[in-house]
C-alpha cells in the first residue's frame, strides 16, 4: 500500500493522518506505538517526520510524499510537533510539543 502513496492527498476520504515531527520526545512516540491498533481502527495513519524525511510504519516514504507533508504543515509554527489532518485533507489541529 505504501508504495502507491505519493502525496498526502492520497489518503483523502480514506484516512485521518497524524503527522508527528520527531523532536526527541520518546514518550510521545511510545504512546503512539502503544495505541497503533486503536488508531488504525479509527482510520488513522501515522506519519513520522525526522531529519527532513517521512516514514510510515518505519518505511521511508518518497521525497514527493515528504514534500507534500511539508507543504501541508508549513503554515504552522515551529514549536508544533503533532498535526491532525482530517479525511477531507485539511489540517484540523496542531499540537504544541509540550502537550
Confidence at residue 79, expressed as pLDDT on a 0 to 100 scale: 65
Question: Of the candidates 72, 78, 81, 73, which has an alpha carbon nearest to the alpha carbon of residue 99?
Answer: 81
The model's pTM is: 0.84
Residues 58-99 have pLDDT tens digits of: 899 999 999 999 999 886 656 678 899 999 999 999 887 664
Is residue 20 within a helix (H) or strand (E), and if so which, with residue range? strand 16-21
Radius of gyration, CA atoms only, the chain: 12
More confident residue, 14 or 24: 14
- DSSP H helical ranges for the chain: 26-34, 36-41, 63-73
Burial (CB count <10 Å: 0-12, 13-18, 19+), residue 25: middle
Amino acid at each position: 500500500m505504501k508504495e502507491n502513496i505519493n502525496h498526502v492527498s492520497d489518503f483523502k476520504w480514506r484516512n485521518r493522518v497524524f503527522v508527528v515531527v520527531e523532536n526527541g520526545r520518546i514518550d510521545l512516540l511510545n504512546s503512539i506505538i502503544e495505541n497503533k491498533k486503536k488508531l488504525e481502527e479509527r482510520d488513522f495513519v501515522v506519519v513520522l517526520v525526522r531529519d527532513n524525511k517521512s516514514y510510515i510504519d518505519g518505511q521511508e516514504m518518497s521525497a514527493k510524499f515528504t514534500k507534500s507533508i511539508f507543504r501541508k504543515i508549513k503554515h504552522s509554527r515551529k514549536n508544533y510537533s503533532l498535526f491532525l489532518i482530517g479525511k477531507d485533507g485539511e489540517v484540523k489541529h496542531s499540537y504544541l510539543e509540550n502537550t
